[in-house]
């Protein structure tokens, strides 16, 4: 029994394998469809923009996939990330619940995104690719990919959603610091961007539009690939290092969660914390485990969207994927949690919501920022507005425990820090929205 607030692991205990949930799903995923023929796409259709190894991971039936040594070495810059018991928050809420969080803000670019950017840059480098093009919302993904590309000596080009480009100027500097080129999206560099600007010159942009622009550029050149920071199966796979570590840390604390919580934009940090525990619910004896994904009420794909085939981007260039979606032309309002402004959600997460294994909840911006404020004052960490959605649900759960007298163990993922989101917190403090 450990009484530490922070549960560290030695670097020799960093997980050596990713957990692939695909073979453990209650039923196989509905296949992606070709946008033209509406027939299931073959893996060869993806090879214009992704390297072979990542395409293999996208459809793998192996339960565990080994992490390459070069990627493990990079993980050692910041992993294992701490698992922290939020005792001050527990006391403040006067709850019998135990609250644990995994702190992914401890990673170099401030969020979980490096868990996959290292792996994606590595596999692309090995495939002989010279340049990666991507989209970014709040700038977290662009920062993580820029850093990984610099390490593997790849060029990096980023289409950043315009509203965030203006709201979060330091993120732009962050990406440029690591050598990336950054454009506000919609831009005039692509036909997808021009089309949006023709219709609405003041478009705030969206992740869907930025994805269209990045794919358009990547598809034009042999030596250039596209890289996505969330949604796809292989991205979720790389993030499982979070939950695999958390499992080892909770073993040290002699605990197992009753509730696991993550915020959901595309679904990758949620998958990362949740899937290794969900495994025990799907194939083991943890039938009562509650797994909760939290999204903004203003972009409620999982809670209000349709479970149907839709495009992953605005222009309709991606395959049709089966997911909860608000429609690929949905442009979410300009909320501060830019990383959660996506019209859809990962196919695997969507399938698990549809089968009832994952519960989806949504909160509005003010209550989320209030939760972030309380958490920071208790635990000393300013969370990213995205992560604050998970904090809000953890607090709701802890208060429920106070009412019922249950001492549940609550685990949530603190996907990133909010040091570059202080502009948003400033507005919150001044106006309360």
The site for ligand PLP (CB under 6 A) is made up of 111, 113, 140-141, 230, 263-270, 339-340, 384, 386-387, 415-416
Residue nearest to ligand PLP (CB): 416
Count of C-beta atoms within a 10 Å radius of residue 274 = 34
Question: Which CB sits closer to ligand PLP, 133 or 340?
Answer: 340
Strands of the sheet with 83-85, listed across from one edge: 6-7, 83-85, 98-103, 409-414, 259-263, 290-296, 359-363
Question: Which CB sits closer to ligand PLP, 55 or 138?
Answer: 138
Question: Which CB sits closer to ligand PLP, 212 or 387?
Answer: 387
Determine phi and psi for 416, rounding to 5 degrees: -170, 165
Distance, CA of 281 to CA of 261 (rounded, Å): 15
Distance, CA of 184 to CA of 186 (rounded, Å): 6
Question: Which CB sits closer to ligand PLP, 95 or 109?
Answer: 109
For the chain, how far is it from start to end, CA to CA, in angstroms? Answer: 44
Query: In the bound complex, what is the minimum distance in angstroms from residue 255's beta carbon to ligand PLP?
Result: 24
Shortest CA distance to 103 belongs to which of 246, 292, 235, 240?
A: 246
Question: Which CB sits closer to ligand PLP, 95 or 114?
Answer: 114
Question: Which CB sits closer to ligand PLP, 186 or 266?
Answer: 266
The DSSP letter of residue 412 is: E
Three-state SS sequence of 51-101? CHHHHHHHCCCCCEEECCHHHHHHHCCCCCCCEEECHHHHHHHCCCCEEEE
Query: In the bound complex, what is the minimum distance in angstroms from residue 223's beta carbon to ligand PLP?
Result: 27
Phi-psi region of 333 (alpha: psi -120 to 50; beta: other; left: phi over 0): beta
Query: Are 210 and 135 spatial neighbours (Cβ–Cβ below 8 Å)?
Result: yes
Query: In the bound complex, what is the minimum distance in angstroms from residue 342's beta carbon to ligand PLP?
Result: 8
The burial of 124, by beta-carbon neighbours within 10 Å (0-12 exposed, 13-18 middle, 19 or more buried), is given as buried
Query: In the bound complex, what is the minimum distance in angstroms from residue 128's beta carbon to ligand PLP?
Result: 28
Question: Which CB sits closer to ligand PLP, 111 or 397?
Answer: 111
Query: In the bound complex, what is the minimum distance in angstroms from residue 295's beta carbon to ligand PLP?
Result: 9
Query: In the bound complex, what is the minimum distance in angstroms from residue 219's beta carbon to ligand PLP?
Result: 23
Query: In the bound complex, what is the minimum distance in angstroms from residue 386's beta carbon to ligand PLP?
Result: 3
């Amino acid at each position: 029994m450990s009484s530490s607030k922070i549960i560290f692991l030695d670097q020799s205990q960093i997980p050596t394998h990713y957990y692939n949930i695909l073979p453990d799903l209650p039923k196989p995923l509905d296949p992606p469809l070709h946008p033209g023929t509406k027939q299931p796409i073959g893996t060869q259709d993806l090879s214009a923009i992704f390297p072979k190894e990542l395409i293999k991971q996208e459809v793998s039936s192996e339960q565990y996939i080994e992490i390459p040594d070069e990627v493990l070495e990079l993980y050692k810059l910041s992993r294992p990330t701490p698992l922290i018991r939020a005792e001050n928050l527990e006391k403040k809420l006067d709850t019998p619940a135990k609250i644990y969080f995994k702190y992914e803000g401890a990673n170099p670019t401030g969020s979980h995104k490096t868990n996959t950017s290292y792996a994606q840059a590595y596999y692309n480098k090995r495939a002989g690719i010279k340049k990666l093009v991507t989209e970014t919302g709040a700038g977290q993904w662009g920062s993580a990919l820029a850093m990984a590309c610099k390490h593997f000596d790849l060029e990096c080009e980023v289409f950043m959603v315009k509203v965030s480009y203006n709201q979060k100027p330091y993120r732009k500097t962050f990406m440029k610091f690591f050598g990336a080129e950054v454009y506000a999206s919609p831009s005039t560099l692509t036909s997808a961007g021009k089309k949006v600007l023709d219709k609405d010159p003041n478009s705030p942009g969206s992740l869907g539009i930025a994805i269209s622009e990045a794919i358009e550029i990547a598809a034009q050149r042999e030596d250039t690939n596209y890289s996505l920071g969330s949604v796809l199966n292989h991205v979720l796979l790389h993030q499982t290092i979070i939950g695999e570590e958390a499992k080892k840390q909770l073993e040290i604390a002699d605990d197992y969660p009753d509730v696991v919580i993550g915020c959901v934009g595309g679904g990758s940090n949620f998958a990362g914390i949740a899937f290794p525990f969900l495994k025990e619910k799907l194939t083991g004896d943890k039938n009562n485990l509650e797994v909760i994904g939290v999204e903004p009420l203003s972009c409620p794909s999982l809670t209000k969207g349709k479970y149907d085939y839709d495009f992953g981007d605005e222009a309709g260039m991606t395959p049709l994927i089966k997911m909860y979606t608000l429609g690929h032309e949905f442009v979410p309002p300009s909320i501060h949690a830019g990383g959660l402004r996506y019209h859809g959600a990962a196919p695997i997460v969507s399938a698990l919501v549809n089968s009832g294994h994952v519960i989806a909840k949504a909160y509005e911006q003010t209550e989320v920022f209030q939760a972030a404020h309380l958490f920071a004052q208790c635990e000393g960490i300013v969370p990213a507005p995205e992560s604050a959605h998970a904090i809000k649900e953890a607090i709701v759960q802890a208060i429920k425990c106070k009412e019922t007298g249950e001492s549940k163990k609550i685990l949530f993922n603190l996907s990133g820090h909010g040091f570059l989101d202080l502009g948003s917190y400033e507005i919150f403090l001044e106006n309360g929205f």
